[in-house]
Amino acid sequence: MEPDFLKVSIEKRVGCIRLHRPKSLNALNRQMIAELVVELERFDRDENVGAILLTGGEKAFAAGADIGEMAKATSAEMLLMDQFADWDRIRRVSKPIVAAVSGYALGGGCELAMACDLILASESAKFGQPEIHLGVIPGAGGTQRLTRTVGKKRAMEMVLTGKTISADEAFRAGLVNRVVPVELLEQEALKLAKELASKAPIALRLAKQAVQKAADKGLEEDLDYEQKLFYFLFSTEDQKEGMNSFMEKRRPDFKGK
Ligand code: HXC
């Protein structure tokens, strides 16, 4: 079945996936993540694909998880929904994934980019973990992968203040591999993915696996911890206020309850 929220193609041994829900700035609803996992796993099995390219739109790679979908959920509902089971499957894709990021990569969007293996950013890219403005915390690796990548001080600033950083700042912090002009992003990202796809396929997979082992030591357990804290916050009034205020386009009034 054709995915509703993705555009998928193969170009010279590169499996290309474009997040496509432009009216919501590619907000990641659960269907979109489920579709993404299906396509990633399909490319992972396909011998004609050597590497994968994940991209979004010019204004947004993805502006985070779909807030409307989560706003009213309780902790128990979040836990039972187990949306992170799909995110875990992204981590197990064995071929390299290049993210091409233009515009907003916020919350789950930043986490999705970080779950990829290399990130190319356009000059317009903005990275951030704004969940604190919603009365929650990152839930799909934002506190863990970001800290491992940019270090404690920068991660603290981003996660605690919710402020975004520019593509240049992200480059200086080691969050992205390279920054390119907006109009060159897709061609440069495709060029990089094609280069990877031309390598010896088995060595490429094992190279990814070996680097992942070094970079992701203890990650599984730490992601689990983050998820539990994320779920817990859905039992607070502040989470309801934070997410409802976003939907109602007003400032939140947090009470610490
Ligand atoms: C649902 C979203 C959305 C989101 C944007 N939209 N982000 N809908 N979930 N995360 C919708 C808006 O409601 C709006 O719909 C349309 O997209 C355009 O957005 P605007 O806000 O009008 O655009 P703009 O003024 O340009 O502001 C862009 C923005 C802002 C700064 C990116 O949209 C924003 O702050 N978005 C939320 C970012 C965020 O908090 N992300 C973290 C989510 S929590 P209408 O219908 O009004 O046109 C998260 C947790 C991950 O990611 C946990 C693991 C899964």
CATH number at residue 28: 3.90.226.10
User: Which of the four pLDDT bands, split at 50, 70 and 90, describes residue 182?
Assistant: very high
Query: Does residue 227 share a domain with residue 101?
Result: no
Query: Does residue 192 share a domain with residue 137?
Result: yes
Domain membership of residue 187 (yes or no) is yes
Query: Does residue 185 share a domain with residue 234?
Result: no
C-alpha 136/C-alpha 132 separation (Å) is 5
The mean pLDDT value for 104-112 works out to: 98
Cα(206) to centroid(ligand 1), Å: 37
Number of domains in the chain: 2
CATH of the domain at 228: 1.10.12.10
Report the chain's mean pLDDT, rounded to a whole number: 97
Nearest CA to ligand 1 atom 7: 63
Query: Does residue 192 share a domain with residue 222?
Result: no
Strand bridging mode 6-11 / 104-106: unpaired
Query: What range does the domain containing 207 cover?
Result: 201-248
Give the phi and the psi of residue 54 in degrees, each rounded to 5.
Answer: -115, 125
pLDDT digits (tens, 9 = 90+) for 189-221: 999 999 999 999 999 999 999 999 999 999 999
Query: Does residue 129 share a domain with residue 13?
Result: yes
Q: Which atom of ligand 1 is nearest to the CA of 104?
A: 32
pLDDT at site 257: 97
Nearest CA to ligand 1 atom 53: 139
Cα(23) to centroid(ligand 1), Å: 10
Cα(25) to centroid(ligand 1), Å: 7
Domain membership of residue 254 (yes or no) is no
C-alpha 186/C-alpha 193 separation (Å) is 10
pLDDT at site 254: 98
Query: Does residue 211 share a domain with residue 99?
Result: no
Pocket of ligand 1 (CB under 6 A): 24-25, 27, 63-68, 104, 106-108, 130-131, 134, 138-140
Query: Does residue 208 share a domain with residue 84?
Result: no
The candidate with the shortest Cα–Cα distance to 139, out of 76, 63, 87, is 87
User: Which of the four pLDDT bands, split at 50, 70 and 90, describes residue 139?
Assistant: very high
Query: Does residue 221 share a domain with residue 94?
Result: no
C-alpha 245/C-alpha 157 separation (Å) is 23
pLDDT at site 1: 78
Query: Active-site residues: which are they?
Result: 65, 108, 111, 131
Q: What is the 3-state secondary structure (H, E, C) of the chain?
A: CCCCCEEEEEECCEEEEEECCHHHCCCECHHHHHHHHHHHHHHHHCCCCCEEEEECCCCEEECCECHHHHCCCCHHHHHHHCCHHHHHHHHCCCCCEEEEECCEEECHHHHHHHHCCEEEEECCCEEECHHHHHCCCCCCCHHHHHHHHHCHHHHHHHHHHCCCEEHHHHHHCCCCCEEECHHHHHHHHHHHHHHHHCCCHHHHHHHHHHHHHHHCCCHHHHHHHHHHHHHHHCCCHHHHHHHHHHHCCCCCCCCCC
Domain membership of residue 178 (yes or no) is yes
Cα(71) to centroid(ligand 1), Å: 13
Domain membership of residue 255 (yes or no) is no
pLDDT digits (tens, 9 = 90+) for 31-80: 999 999 999 999 999 999 999 999 999 999 999 999 999 999 999 999 99
Q: Which of 24, 230, 248 to mutate to test the pocket of ligand 1 (most atoms within 8 A of CB)?
A: 24
Domain membership of residue 18 (yes or no) is yes
Query: Does residue 107 share a domain with residue 120?
Result: yes
Residue with tokens 């309801």: 240
Domain membership of residue 257 (yes or no) is no
Query: Does residue 227 share a domain with residue 108?
Result: no
Domain membership of residue 253 (yes or no) is no
Query: Does residue 162 share a domain with residue 74?
Result: yes
